[in-house]
Amino acid sequence: MPLFIAVHKWKPELQVTIMKEMIAGFTELLQGTAPKGVELCFTWQRADYGAFCLWNVPNKEALESFFKKFGPTMPKYTEFIPVLQVYPPTPEYVLSLFQNIIDLSTKK
């Protein structure tokens, strides 16, 4: 499944609101009631009112839908960036390297 990094950066005055929305989202994940295939892998809290979260999801739309469900504020301050795991290498990453090699070797 595709990996996405969610980059969150909110205003200091929204800290309490965002924390409440995070509690709602984490609770849904822990209770197993999140949509099928939506998996939070890691979260890193920032010191400057934000976070970075790594998600394993079927697609970006599933992730956006999950965020809209548990809090209307969070999506306004979030960017979802598709990523590939480079190390240790995953099959998706190796295949992307092969594709790049093919693309480069066929250019004239």
pLDDT (tens digit, 9 = 90+) per residue, 73-106? Answer: 999 999 999 999 888 888 989 999 999 999 999 8
What tens digit of pLDDT does each residue of 27-47 get? 999 999 888 899 999 999 998
Q: Given 3-state DSSP classes, what are the helix, strand and coil percentages for the chain, each rounded to the nearest 5?
A: 45, 25, 25
pLDDT of residue 43: 94
Contact 52, 40 (CB under 8 A): no
DSSP single-letter state for residue 35: P
Q: Look at residues 20, 21, 31 and name the one whose alpha carbon lies nearest to residue 75.
A: 21
Mean pLDDT calculated for residue range 47-72: 93
Domains and CATH numbers, the chain: 3-106 (3.30.70.100)
